[in-house]
Amino acid sequence: MKNELYTMNQYDKITIDIKTFMDEKCINRNMLARAINARFEVVDKWYGGHVEKIDADVLARICFVLECTPGDIIRYTEAE
């Protein structure tokens, strides 16, 4: 691997989807925030897929409450 800089369109991306699991369990963002002991803003970022840095502890709590695995909600997608 050479010392190269990559631009956004040159590599694939990570997508996050907890909305599907929340809808299946009839859990809204406020309920999830209380269940995982996190601020609403944190859950809102996860819900919208706008997480910049993944906090493993928050991820573990979300997976526990939604009864899923990290692989269920975090996906590696290829650039188009």
Q: Residues 3-38: pLDDT tens digits?
A: 776 665 667 788 999 999 999 999 999 999 999 999
By the 8 A CB rule, do 73 and 17 touch?
A: yes
pTM of the predicted model over 0.85 = no
Residue from 32, 25, 64 nearest 46 by CA: 32
Write down the H helix ranges in 3-80. Answer: 19-24, 29-36, 40-48, 56-66, 70-73
**Mean pLDDT of the residues in the chain:** 90
One-letter amino acid for residue 21 of the chain: F
42-79 per-position pLDDT tens digit: 999 999 999 999 999 999 999 999 999 999 999 998 76
The 8-class DSSP code of residue 10 comes to G
CA 26 vs CA 22, 35, 46: distances in Å: 6, 13, 16
pLDDT of the residue at 12 = 79
